[in-house]
Structure 1
Amino acid sequence: MTGFRRSALIGSGLAAVLAAGTILVGCGSGSGADAPSAGAAVAGAAPRLSVVDSYIPLPASPNGMGAGYLTVRNEGGADELVKVSSPAAKSVTMHRSTDQTMEQVESFPVPSGGELQLARGGNHLMIMGWEKAPAVGDQLELDLTFKKGGTVAVKVPVQPLTYRPGS
């Protein structure tokens, strides 16, 4: 087989594979749950959200305020965290920390193909009015409501005050 014919056959095969991939991406279920991640983070795509690395450091006083930290990963289109609540706390508010100030915010953006990180020293949750005093090992349910992605319930573990993820 000549080099030209072999290149033409390879090129034809590659074109067929690419076309089949485009068809498969276009025939997804619409939920986004089974769509390939490589093509998911495009404008207008549905958000594909997951929550990882969540924890609440044990509050210093038994019924005092607590902070919540987590990461929202998004393998789909852009979204926005618009509300956080808990059946075990009177209120959960979203806060942004800058230099030496902390301010309550109405929402946090969740970028397309990116992450929203709520971490010590930065964006975080404030949990107030616990139904019962938390203890290390307890789990607090947080209901995260997104503008497009609906509500996601997560069980967030209470860790020692000195806990640092990854250590």
Structure 2
Amino acid sequence: MNRRTTLAGVVALVGGLALAGCSSSDGAPELKVSGAFMPQPISDMAAGFLVIENSGGAADRLTSVTSPLSDDVTIHETKNNAMRMVTSFEVPAGGELDLERGGNHIMFMKLKQQPKQGEKVSVELHFEKADPITVDLPVKETTYNPKKQ
């Protein structure tokens, strides 16, 4: 009887460790950025758009964006045709955060320079859990909208 109890204990321990191993790797956000762009600005303000995909098992939050282009970079949501600054956006586990024209986006105020079509603007995305991600936003024509092509 002692052997069975010991064997059952070992099996339970090994099984528990295996599950713990799975949950720790699945319990972290795994973020990837795609579709990034900035329409060429026509004033001292600009907007940035991209998609953050989270293939991990835990949600995360985009908490801020920084860029050498501006000391005043914020994230905005659009509801009922009105923009307002927010403190963060959720990046759901197994889902994505879509920053797109007419919707949620990155806002650059008081630009230090006017980026031109064909150039790239560097941004750093900051998250609640994941390490920061640096992304280059290609500057596209002012009217560029990938959703309508």
Matching residue within 33, 38, 41 for 1:59:
41
| Structure 1 position 155, deviation (Å) | 0.6
Instruction: Show the counterpart of 2:9.
Output: none
Matching residue within 62, 74, 78 for 1:81:
62
| Structure 1 position 72, deviation (Å) | 0.2
Instruction: Show the counterpart of 2:137.
Output: 156
Q: CA RMSD in A?
A: 2.2
TM-score scaled to structure 2, two decimals?
Answer: 0.80
How many pairs were matched up?
131
Which has the higher relative contact order, 1 or 2, with Cα contacts under 8 A spaced 6 or more apart? 2
| Structure 1 position 100, deviation (Å) | 2.4
Unaligned runs of 5+ in 1: 1-22, 33-39
| Structure 1 position 89, deviation (Å) | 1.6
Once the two structures are aligned, what percentage of the paired residues are identical? 41
In structure 2, how many angstroms separate the alpha carbons of the residues matched to 1:65 and 1:46? 35
1:127 has 2:108 as partner:
yes
In structure 1, how many angstroms separate the alpha carbons of the residues matched to 2:32 and 2:123? 13
Instruction: Show the counterpart of 2:28.
Output: 46
TM-score scaled to structure 1, two decimals?
Answer: 0.72
Unaligned runs of 5+ in 2: 1-17
Spell out the pairing of 1:10-25 with structure 2 (5 A cutoff): none
